[in-house]
Amino acid sequence: MSDQTAIESVLTEERVFPPPPEFAANAHIKSFEEYEKLYAEAADDPAGFWAKQAEALHWFKKWDTVLKWKEPFAEWFVGGKLNISYNCLDRHLTTSRKNKAAIIWEGETGEIKTITYLQLHQEVSRFANVLKSLGVKTGDRVALYMPLVPALAVAMLACARIGATHTVIFGGFSADAIRDRVNDCQCKVIVTADGGYRRGSEIRLKDVVDEAVEHCPDVTDVVVYQRTGSQIKMRPGRDHWWHELTKTVDADCPAEELDSEHPLYILYTSGTTGKPKGILHTTGGYLTQTVYTSKVIFDLKDEDIYWCTADIGWVTGHSYVVYGPLANGATVFMYEGAPNHPAPDRFWDIIERHKITIFYTAPTAIRAFIKWGEQHPLKHDLTSLRLLGTVGEPINPEAWMWYHQIIGKGNCPIVDTWWQTETGSAMISPLPGATPTVPGTATRPLPGIVVDVVTKSGKPVGPGEGGYLVIKHPWPSMLRTLWGDDERYKQAYWSEIPGMYFAGDGARRDKHGYFWIMGRVDDVINVSGHRLGTAEIESALVSHEAVAEAAVVGRPDELKGQAIAAFVTLEGGRTGNDELKDALRTHVAHEIGALAKPDDIRFTDALPKTRSGKIMRRLLRELASGGHVAGDVTTLEDLSVLEKLREDEE
């Protein structure tokens, strides 16, 4: 390798799955040639390509300039005026979609609610008037801390309608996390609920907000949506019931004509150090790319029932539960609760009953399904499904194959979509009627997206070589800055590799131009001078029949620089012993090579994960290097997992 900062890639995968011909014939993009033609056109004239996609939206006033770019600050569709709520709602009311289901929601407790576009428009308009009645003005920030109920989408769209900037805070976060976020962007109003349901118990959200608000000087009002009906404290003058306020306002609220660059939302992601980063997304460019990608990646049609299982508290929920699908006039299915409540077949039961056609979930969920056993999906009729998707992490080929065979019955294309909170919409993904898929790769960049794999100094690496995944041309739904901190924005994304956007992933491009994401570069392990991505070793471990999930980290080693430590959870019914450890080492050596053989293997019941399902390798690294966890653990989903691992250590 020419550059010592590159990352070695060791994984090879030969299975290829072309789009089923019938799917391709009916798809929005029907062949690989069509994709390549689009890609080439967009590469020639990115502004022209994106302007064409922006034509799909309703604009009160057309833009004057497609892109103003002064690295690293972008403005898209400058001079244009539009409203996202108008695009998601009003626009459909003059069409046959008026009485179509916009949202079908199922609570964990079993109730089902269907809201048509007309009804959603009314609810959103009313709630927008509620916000106005509380003094919320265009440009003000509003925090939303809610369970996964349609009212959360209503609140987002109501903010968008009047030009208030929302910040959704995932309903699993603590009072401290709320306080930090609300204060960072000076929210005036918090919208919450009495509670929500998760795995059979009630999560009491309002109590958490009460604790947080004590330390939020800018908050004047708290609006409470009634979901559970539990007893909660209401502070007179500050706290109001959603259902009472909505009775006091009328249902007519014209959508504000907003600048294309008007701030739509702030979404906080955890940085590696210090306080969370407030990713800022704006209006015209964001909607253009989410609408385009929703349409071509999910091949959305009017007859579809589309289910993205992400919580709305993550960017996936913003772009692919709410804004992208609704602006396309789709029927969006939402489920409030856990996948294993009351039983591990809840998702498959939902797919059968609601006849879901498109299903988009995360690799971490798929690995849990595999662990729970295929008897659960096999009990259900899943033939309504026509398309599957994944996002959030590299999907190991083993999990991909299971998803393809057990859920998709071999008939459904899988779209493995690579993107980030920062990118706003998908960037690298197969187009389901066009791109032959290969398990484990997000395949090619979308038309209009220019990505590359480079060395630390920005030189492209050769086919098959690992390096840094960068984006070389501004894209419409890119983050505009970090809220209130342009300097940190430059530092975090534009300083590592000169002239390019870099947000932390390692990748390689194979000889077909397909991109393989190798995980976060912070997670790279350096064994005897070879830089190995964790994702590939994990994937090799998981391809052993006894292994359900694996996390691999480096620990200091005098001889090799770093040694490989693997934390492994096993399939139901399997027990870990020395014999299995040996078998796993041999297996990895066979799949990748002796270089990648784990030095330590530790069996565990569960891996520490963030609330969005990502394995917290940093904690495992600390454990593997001496058993002492010093860093921040506030984003850990289940603290007991860490305690258990520590006990095993002793």
Binding site for ligand WT7 (CB under 6 A): 269, 314-316, 391-394, 416-421, 442, 503-505, 517, 520, 612
**Closer residue to ligand WT7 in complex, CB, 317/448:** 317
To the nearest whole angstrom, how small is the minimum distance from the Cβ of residue 259 to ligand WT7? 26
The Cα–Cα gap between 613 and 318 comes to: 17
Query: Residue 451: which of 93, 608, 443 has the closest Cα?
Result: 443
The Cα–Cα gap between 367 and 538 comes to: 12
How many Cβ atoms from other residues are within 10 Å of residue 111's Cβ? 9
**Closer residue to ligand WT7 in complex, CB, 225/501:** 501
The Cα–Cα gap between 64 and 359 comes to: 38
Q: What amino acid occupies position 252? A: D
The Cα–Cα gap between 98 and 117 comes to: 5
Which ranges in 459-571 belong to alpha helices (H)?
486-494, 534-542
**Closer residue to ligand WT7 in complex, CB, 131/551:** 551
To the nearest whole angstrom, how small is the minimum distance from the Cβ of residue 421 to ligand WT7? 3
**Closer residue to ligand WT7 in complex, CB, 313/394:** 394
Enumerate the β-bridge partners of residue 70: 73
To the nearest whole angstrom, how small is the minimum distance from the Cβ of residue 507 to ligand WT7? 9
**Closer residue to ligand WT7 in complex, CB, 125/421:** 421
How many Cβ atoms from other residues are within 10 Å of residue 110's Cβ? 8
Token digits for 76? Answer: 């898209």
To the nearest whole angstrom, how small is the minimum distance from the Cβ of residue 353 to ligand WT7? 27
**Closer residue to ligand WT7 in complex, CB, 339/394:** 394
**Closer residue to ligand WT7 in complex, CB, 307/419:** 419
Residue 24: which residues within 8 A CB-CB, separation 6 or more?
30, 31, 433, 434
β 358-361/305-308 pair status: parallel
To the nearest whole angstrom, how small is the minimum distance from the Cβ of residue 515 to ligand WT7? 9
Enumerate the β-bridge partners of residue 532: 8, 525
To the nearest whole angstrom, how small is the minimum distance from the Cβ of residue 441 to ligand WT7? 9
To the nearest whole angstrom, how small is the minimum distance from the Cβ of residue 434 to ligand WT7? 18
The Cα–Cα gap between 7 and 447 comes to: 27
To the nearest whole angstrom, how small is the minimum distance from the Cβ of residue 362 to ligand WT7? 8
The Cα–Cα gap between 154 and 160 comes to: 10
**Closer residue to ligand WT7 in complex, CB, 245/315:** 315
Enumerate the β-bridge partners of residue 224: 192, 241
